[in-house]
Amino acid sequence: MDSDYSEEAYAASSSEGDASMLSSDDDYAFDNAAAQFSSKSKVPYVILRREDVAQRQQKAINEVTSVLGLNSDEATRVLRRFKWDVNRVNEEWFSDVDAVRRAVGLLEEPAAETPRASAKCRICFDEFPKASMHAGPCRHYFCGDCWRGYTHEAVCSGPACLDLRCPLPECKVAVPSPLVLQQLPPGDVAKYDTFLLRSFVEDNRVMSWCTGANCDAAVQCLVERAPEEPLDVLCTCTTTFCFNCKEEAHRPVACDTVRKWVTKNSAESENLNWILANTKPCPKCHRPIEKNQGCMHMTCSQCRHEFCWLCNGPWGEHGERTGGFYACNRFEVAAKAGEYDDEARRRDNAKASLERYMHYFERWDAHNKARDKARQEAARTAGEALEALSDLTRTPTSQLRFIMDAWAQVIECRRSLKWTYAYGYYAFEDEMTRPELGRQRAFFEFLQGDAERSLDQLHEVAEMRLRALREEYAAAGAIPSDVFQDFRKRLIGLTDVTRSFFDKLVKQLEKGFAGIERDFAGEPLPAPAAGDDGAGPSSGGGAAASGAGASGSGGGGGAAAGKKRRGGGRDWVCSHCTLSNKGASNDCEACGLPRPD
């Protein structure tokens, strides 16, 4: 498929993909993808309709037939063997043609015919005239009824019918597709054709079906990628997914991290961890018991055994001399002497592990819910709200695109921010045994906090400020031009600043944090702002609320972290939009406000 991946094809396909995403039918498809925010950027994939897939499939078949001198059916079989890779087909064919023929069941020449007018069917063993029988290149004849039954069962069994071999068990010769189709009823022919088209996408390393419900579009990747490198795809149906693992789009987090995180969220292991961390087995019947009150005097509801929650000793041996109902001297003495039993250690470890997991999961889930609500609000804004704003500002809706761009940025950033918590959970889980991870985590949380605060400001302006403008001037019937222009300038500036912050965060996560010891040698990393949530053994920051203004710093520097927060000593941070500006500039590059004294 070398011609498919030429620079000319890449440019043409990318343009085709951009055009499809920006069509009038999908003007407000505000889901997440890395490239949809700028029509100038080229996406590394193209969205294909079923007819486009069929054309590309036929093109690959034609290339093989012209180079190798095979017929269409033989070329198709060889291409399927090598995952529809034309280049590899050519290499393998000219390297060892006999091995390729054996692998796909192709004879160099058909077997010789026997000069008989009739033959015995090798399935039903009845004698038939040869004229009413059928055979492949191997010349093994079977009657029409047996062929029809054989091919029908093969199609009903699934895509394996594309590699159908001779019914004779010891014969490995392929049955030509014209012979197969000749025996099938129309319904089975349609299934066979569908299997063949699906094979071109599902067996092809550079193609994939869209994961959206009721969407039959395919995606063709146009660039070379590492096997585990994520690629976020935005389909014309607005579904977003990772080309590599088929989960929801999750760049910059690796596919393996996403798999582990999704599995952990749905696994029974967390239920077992909770049971281990919050219950104890009854010393007598060993059934798990949850302590739901403060008193240490426990009575098993099953066997009625009474015991001390702390030391597990019989309650009859306890009383005022051992500390009463809310303490246990025996346990405290044992704890000071280091006589913790293995069960207590396991319970404490499980509790610490569960608390750390819940710290990251709650923040991951909060941003997931905030993203869902942002999508709903964006859909509402794209409808009547945008028309109402157009009337209030005397502005065509086509010139209000910056509002929907801001919502698209909010939705995309909520997705990215959500997955940073899955990243943080796994990247720094060995911090207690690897001290260098503490410094890396501090830098990660600093970038995460910067991006999160910028996103919160953008979300608040896009939702709350816009709503306030509409309500404030609804009675007057018009928003003053200077007020609307100030709002427009601020929203566009915040959108650009937020995009910049998240670009930095994404690039750093993809690069990794192993090099920061060298890059920041001798320089103190920014400390978390006062009041930032530091819960958990490896804090990822405070929980994000589910609406606009959702806060939850990842532990990074605060909004007033100082003028050296992101730049050199002469750089300055705009107090309005938080953009870090060069020292030589007197006005903020994003919002245009003057530099503070």
Q: Which of 122, 130, 30 is nearest to 373 (CA)?
A: 30
> What's the number of domains the chain is made of?
4
Whether residue 430 is contained in a domain is answered as yes
Rounded-to-integer distance, Cα 226 and Cα 249, Å: 17
- In this structure, what token pair is assigned to residue 360? 């990251």
Q: Which of 321, 493, 87 is nearest to 79 (CA)?
A: 87
* 516 Cβ neighbours under 8 A, 6+ residues apart: 439, 440, 443
For 231-350, strand residue ranges (E) read 232-234, 240-242, 279-281, 288-290, 297-299, 306-308
pTM of the predicted model as reported, rounded to 2 decimal places:
0.65
pLDDT score at 55: 96
Find out whether 539 and 533 touch, Cβ atoms under 8 Å: yes
Q: Output the CA–CA distances (angstroms, integers) from residue 205 to 115, 223, 369, 515, 521, in the order listed.
A: 47, 12, 34, 33, 42
Residues of the chain with pLDDT under 70: 1-42, 267-278, 292-294, 319-347, 432-433, 515-571, 573-580, 589-593, 597
Is 216 found in the same domain as 176?
no
Query: Which CATH number goes with the domain that contains 130?
Result: 3.30.40.10
Which region holds residue 512: left if phi is over 0, alpha if psi is between -120 and 50, else beta? left
Is 429 found in the same domain as 296?
no
Is 226 found in the same domain as 153?
no
Whether residue 62 is contained in a domain is answered as no
Whether residue 501 is contained in a domain is answered as yes
Q: How many CA atoms lie within 13 A of 93 on its CB side?
A: 21
pLDDT score at 29: 37
Provide the residue range defining the domain that includes 301.
282-340
Is 292 found in the same domain as 321?
yes
Whether residue 596 is contained in a domain is answered as no
pLDDT score at 276: 60
Whether residue 526 is contained in a domain is answered as yes
User: Which residues are registered as beta bridge partners of 240?
Assistant: 234
End-to-end CA distance of the chain: 62
Active site residue 295: yes
Whether residue 393 is contained in a domain is answered as yes
Rounded-to-integer distance, Cα 340 and Cα 330, Å: 12
pLDDT per position as a tens digit, 519-533:
544 445 444 443 344
Q: How many CA atoms lie within 13 A of 52 on its CB side?
A: 15
Whether residue 491 is contained in a domain is answered as yes
Is 536 found in the same domain as 419?
yes
- In this structure, what token pair is assigned to residue 136? 């492949």
Per annotation, catalytic residue among 124, 285, 295, 303: 295
